[in-house]
Amino acid sequence: MLNMLQRPKRVAAIQDLSGFGRCSLTVIIPILSSMGIQVCPVPTTILSTHTGGLQTPVFLDLTDYVSQSLAHYRQIGVEFESVYTGFLGSEGQIDHCLAYFAAYPDAFLVVDPVMGDEGKTYKTYTPEMVRRMAELVAKADMITPNLTESCILLGEAYPASPITRSQAKSMLVRLSEKGPKIVVVTGVHFADGTLANIGYEREKNAFWSVSCRYVPVKYPGTGDAYTSTLLGALLGGESLPAAMERATRFLETAIKTTYGYGSDPRHGVMLEMVLHELSSQEPMAGYQIL
Ligand code: PXL
């Protein structure tokens, strides 16, 4: 009782701040805060928009700020229960993320290895950055790549057709062999026609699957929204399959609500309309065993 944490759990989110387009910190802060988690943003870059098709954003690099913020937090003794990284703008930023990880070895280290989507690597990710991202992945407790990023990390071609359950399990295990004890891969199309987010816990040798409805539009920032909801649920003490289900259901609501309005997909999901759903913590038990 005496060593109870007498404050909300705290996450250092080493991520960019993109003013328009609903991704990274503008998604991560409201989601985790709604789930009762304190977010301490460590902005890596300030951009006017994300890099997904809204012409060339104004770009302010804050790489040096990342290490300086770490030095300050160490000086004043700030503790974090989790350190969470996502989209990164330079190799220097990866070095500083590694320094944060080394400074907080007991924290739950989460790497969303944002590098690409739909079989393509984002233009801003050089081969050297892809290689350095693997170093970050090796230190993580949990990674949340999409299928494209999983293939990049494994050095494999993006599958031309849907995959089987045994291929999916093998992918999860091989990603976990790179370091992280929890692997969650989003957006997996199965040969039986289902779309699912799948997960693996190495210590339990447990495989999970949560199916999701297909909506024929891609919105930026949905990976950030998924990983932050997943992280919020895990820090709240939920099991991995329940946390995956919570994140999947929330994203489904956000995507379908937005799709109904027919808004420009580049503007992201209408988070403001659905955020309140995260404050209710109904038990989740609709996941499946993969
Ligand atoms: O959602 C990932 C992301 C984060 N930040 C920036 C991005 C993207 C994806 O394109 O461009 C700046």
Per-residue pLDDT tens for 124-181?
A: 899 999 999 999 999 999 999 999 999 999 999 999 999 999 999 999 999 999 999 9
Write down the pLDDT at residue 90: 92
What band does 1 get if pLDDT is binned at 50, 70 and 90? Answer: low
Would strands 206-212 and 195-201 be described as parallel, antiparallel, or unpaired?
Answer: antiparallel
Write down the pLDDT at residue 182: 99
Instruction: Name the closest-CA residue to atom 8, ligand 1.
Output: 50
Write the pLDDT tens digit of every residue in 222-257: 999 999 999 999 999 999 999 999 999 999 999 999
Instruction: Name the closest-CA residue to atom 6, ligand 1.
Output: 50
Compute, in angstroms, the gap from residue 66 CA to the centroid of ligand 1.
18
Share of the chain above pLDDT 90, in %: 93
Q: Look up residue 87 and give its two tokens.
A: 């989209």
**Which of 65-74, 233-242, 277-286 shows the lowest per-residue confidence on average (mean pLDDT)?**
277-286
Write down the pLDDT at residue 219: 97
Asked whether residue 4 carries a pLDDT value surpassing 90, the answer given is: no
Helix H segments across the chain? 25-34, 63-75, 91-103, 127-139, 147-154, 165-176, 222-235, 240-261, 271-274
Considering the chain, what is the average pLDDT of its residues? Answer: 96
Task: Determine the atom of ligand 1 nearest the C-alpha atom of 27.
Answer: 1
Instruction: Name the closest-CA residue to atom 3, ligand 1.
Output: 87
Write down the pLDDT at residue 281: 74
- Predicted TM-score of the model (pTM): 0.97
Write the pLDDT tens digit of every residue in 207-224: 999 999 999 999 999 999
3-class secondary structure, 41: strand
- Which of 51, 148, 222 most suits a substitution to test ligand 1, by most atoms within 8 Å of the C-beta? 51
Asked whether residue 36 carries a pLDDT value surpassing 70, the answer given is: yes
Task: Determine the atom of ligand 1 nearest the C-alpha atom of 114.
Answer: 2
Write down the pLDDT at residue 164: 96
Instruction: Name the closest-CA residue to atom 7, ligand 1.
Output: 50
Closest among 161, 20, 178, 22 to 111, alpha carbons compared? 178
Q: What average pLDDT score do residues 35-58 get?
A: 97
Asked whether residue 114 carries a pLDDT value surpassing 60, the answer given is: yes
3-class secondary structure, 4: coil
Q: Which residues line ligand 1 (CB under 6 A)?
A: 16, 18, 23-24, 47, 50-52, 87, 114, 122, 220-221, 223-224
Radius of gyration of the chain (CA): 18
Asked whether residue 2 carries a pLDDT value surpassing 70, the answer given is: no
Q: State the CB neighbour count (10 A cutoff) for residue 38.
A: 14
Task: Determine the atom of ligand 1 nearest the C-alpha atom of 224.
Answer: 1
Asked whether residue 96 carries a pLDDT value surpassing 60, the answer given is: yes
Compute, in angstroms, the gap from residue 233 CA to the centroid of ligand 1.
23
